[in-house]
Structure 1
């Protein structure tokens, strides 16, 4: 037909199926408040998805073979189950965000759109629209959904495992030698103490105090990091502060035992750091975020893990604000991670060997001192 405008349907109060395909429609109009469930407007000249706002019962929509470049206009249609947009002009992957919150959407067809040519289109589309069961006339497998999640929002354990495999691969490319941390006995694991907890919970201070208190047993092992030093921190004493380029070179040279990312920065426990301490006949003491703990647990090292956590979150939040080092989002993130640490400790018995409340650092040091003495048999 040659219909150019939709008119005269306003009294069709029982209309649930409408097909106006193969016409000359340039816009969607005249469908307000109709109980349409299936709408076919394929093979027209439509450029924008408009005029569908009041079709609250819409379940199936066919807009294939038009000139549509954006999915804007579909975001409020919670009843949509099937969308066909084959042979249009959708070019950007971020357009999928307009429909990512449609709870009932199961079938989407984007064949013959420019965005299909983008790298990783298939996995990005699946990850953005995990509710889909069919994409581009192909059924989506469970394995593909898992692959998409592991690539774009991997569980922490997957991230840690991938980091570990990276370090193994690069270390195997280096000249092989016997590490001091495997001596004097291959059967007894090298002793290491890891203090874990959220940012600025006192783990830096407690780590240094423990190493001073037990200097015949422990030496502090600074991690490398790409972030800048906070006020009061010193290079080589608290961290090795390095550029991203230098950090990446160390990764490629197999220099790290474990690495992790936190708040947009990279952290890594260096192989040479641990080996230099082991050569002195001492155990290594480090402090890490939970991401670092996950990474280190993939290695052959068997440290004692002690969780340092502020139980009074209001007091902890006030402490972070007074330090003046963190933005509001960073403070909110740090406070929320307190629950994450506690949940891991409760849900996975034995994940940490002990838990110490850091609301009062003097009391925390007393508790920590007692634990370390017990570990050392003193």
Structure 2
């Protein structure tokens, strides 16, 4: 009999954490190791920055176009951030799911909640905790990307984000990068194997039952 393992439905893997908890580094490693996993490219109304590529870093659109899409319910999630708007377009994500491709989201807890509400059977939410707020502060200082007052604000905001960890399907502490990466990869592999995402299982099972030995 055929060993075909298609068709299957994709996974929406949503990873959230406070800034500095290691989310982005873990997501980059996961994508590097899994060629079938694609990062969701958000749409934004802000202007493109030097070094950015339209369609790779963001899809840059006018405020008017973004508003038209909001009114058409064309986003799985969207938000106003520092005077600009950001959102995850619905159509390419739904197309990827139907084609059996997995999509990774590196977003906050609010975006995770919105996507899970609209795609309850497809969304898998993972929240990454820091070992401590002291360690979170140390990491933010070490990466030297923000002024001191911004770092302090990020640490304080982290408390509000951590309050929502119990909304997620999986939660783990990033106290060791390799161990945390293994945890994230195990979650991804297990969710890919869930029966309801693997549409080939029913026909394959039926073929097995019809075999004559």
TM-score normalised per structure 2: 0.69
Matched residue, 1:206: 26
Matched residue, 2:153: 333
Contact conserved, 2:11 with 2:192, CA < 8 A, in 1?
A: no
Contact conserved, 1:309 with 1:338, CA < 8 A, in 2?
A: no
Among candidates 163, 168, 172, match of residue 356 of structure 1 = 172
Matched residue, 1:236: 55
1:289 matched to 2:108: yes
1:173-220 superposed Cα distances (whole Å, 9 cap, x missing partner) = xxxxxxxxxxx79xxx8631111112353323322322332334x322
Greater RCO structure (CA 8 Å; 6+ sep)? 2
1:278 matched to 2:97: yes
Among candidates 171, 177, 184, match of residue 368 of structure 1 = 184
- Structure 1 counterpart SS, 2:150: helix
Write 1 or 2 for the structure with the bigger share of helix.
2
1:220 matched to 2:43: no
TM-score normalised per structure 1: 0.42
Where in structure 2 are the equivalents of 1:1-378 lying within 5 Å? 191-216=11-36, 218-227=37-46, 235-278=54-97, 280-302=99-121, 303-345=123-165, 348=166, 351-377=167-193
Contact conserved, 1:190 with 1:301, CA < 8 A, in 2?
A: no
Contact conserved, 1:201 with 1:316, CA < 8 A, in 2?
A: yes
Matched residue, 1:154: none
Offset of 1:304 from its aligned partner? Answer: 0.8
Larger radius of gyration: 1
Offset of 1:344 from its aligned partner? Answer: 2.4
Judged with a 3 Å threshold, the aligned counterparts in structure 2 of structure 1 residues 256 and 335 are, in CA distance, closer, same or farther, namely: same
Contact conserved, 1:219 with 1:283, CA < 8 A, in 2?
A: yes
Measure the CA separation in 2 of the matches of 1:330 and 1:264. 17
Segment drifting more, 201-210 vs 364-373: 201-210
- Structure 2 counterpart SS, 1:209: helix
Structure 1's unaligned 5+ residue stretches are 1-183
Segment drifting more, 316-325 vs 222-231: 222-231
Contact conserved, 1:357 with 1:364, CA < 8 A, in 2?
A: yes
- Structure 1 counterpart SS, 2:164: helix
Offset of 1:237 from its aligned partner? Answer: 3.1
Structure 2's unaligned 5+ residue stretches are 1-6, 195-213
Contact conserved, 1:199 with 1:289, CA < 8 A, in 2?
A: no
Offset of 1:337 from its aligned partner? Answer: 2.9
Offset of 1:276 from its aligned partner? Answer: 4.0
Measure the CA separation in 2 of the matches of 1:318 and 1:262. 25
